[in-house]
Amino acid sequence: MPLVTSQSSKSGSKSKLRHGDKKQSVGFWESQRLAKQKAYEKKAKKYKLKLEDLTVFTQQLASMLEAGLPLVSALEALQEQTEDPVFQIIIREVRNDVSQGNSFSSACAQFPRAFNNLFISMVEAGEASGSLSEILGKVATYFESSTALTKKVKSALTYPIAVIALALILVNVLLIFVIPVFADMFSDFGKELPKPTQFLIDLSDWMKANTHWLLLGGFILFKVWGQFTKTPKGRRFRDKLVMSAPVFGNLIKKITLSRFCRTYATLLRSGVPILRSLEIVSTSSGKTQIEDACRDISKSISEGGQVSETLKTMPFFPPMMKHMAKAGEQTGNVDGMMNKIADFYDTESEAVIASLTSLIEPMLIVFLGVVVGGIVMAMFLPIFNMAGVAGS
């Protein structure tokens, strides 16, 4: 009988230990979850939401509101189906603010890096006019067109950038690691090397001796350029340099003009005041040329002038855009005319992107052939000369 008691007490103590281990395990994972939650909440205020994610959010919210779902319920549904944990917290905080009686625009304004000025101003206009779902639909369409154009530009630039980067890496590998092997072999020839070969060997020796200085200089130059472009003069110099670049400068200018016209038209059509519209266009453009134009246009309008009058004095804007803006003011259809200008420049940008895509591939093939083939030929010239001497 005492034996049974001792065995039961042992099994009971083991079950208690297992139960205690489970509680400790649950407590550990719960503390981990809470720590992650706090980290996400801390990150939410400074979280920069991608335009693609904001576009999806705006489209879904507009569809739910148009279907008659209350704003709080729509935000709750979007919070549950969003996979981004930080964005989930942002939507939760916005929903809580709206539930407490605050406006949707003021709730979104608490997260300026997640919801840009354009979105907040359009929401504010939608709340004032009582047509929030319609305004959100327009915002979603605008974001969608901007995202599509950005993706086309990125896809057109990704291939050449990747090929050029690969070529630079390959050339550096050849110069630093491969050519020294040939140099050691050629040193036993006892004859003067051809000039292309000697040039490559000298370049290889110089790069091997100064690789650390090149890397340090490149890092310092990158940092200095980054700090310089954060200053007003630096930004102005960078934008001027980008706009004057061959081929790509023309493309970037067309895209900039398209976004200027589309944003301005969308804001005006949604009922945002003209001065506020120009302020939003200026901050969302990211280009000093547009910022200067918006500042001058705002000053002209405050003094009783018109947009077309100010555009005439600015060489950055093409004549066609100036004439169409004037025609829109004369017919009372400024937003419609601006949208047509934006459509025109979108079509022009797509044509430039298509032509670049078709031309860049053969140009890069020629570039790689000339660079890599030139290095290979220069290194084999001494061998060819020796074969010629031996044959004679």
pLDDT confidence of residue 28:
58
pLDDT at 370: 85
C-alpha span between 122 and 387 (Å, rounded): 77
Q: What local confidence, expressed as pLDDT, does residue 205 receive?
A: 86
Amino acid 51: pLDDT: 86
| Element (DSSP H or E) covering residue 301 | helix 288-302
Note the residue count of the chain. Answer: 392
Q: Residue 389 has what pLDDT?
A: 43
CATH code for the structural domain at 51-115: 1.20.81.30
Contact predicate 47/113, CB 8 Å:
yes
**Using an 8 Å Cβ cutoff, are 257 and 321 in contact?**
yes
Task: Give pLDDT, residue 2.
Answer: 47
Burial class (CB in 10 A: 0-12, 13-18, 19+), 51: middle
The predicted pLDDT at position 18 comes to: 54
Residues of the chain with pLDDT under 70: 1-33, 189-190, 385-392
Q: What is the pLDDT of residues 183-203, one digit of tens each?
A: 877 777 667 778 888 888 888
pLDDT computed for residue 73 by the predictor: 92
Give the pLDDT confidence score for residue 390 in this predicted structure.
44
Burial class (CB in 10 A: 0-12, 13-18, 19+), 146: buried
Residue range(s) occupied by CATH 1.20.81.30 in the chain: 51-115, 141-392
Q: Say yes or no: domain 141-392 is CATH 1.20.81.30.
A: yes
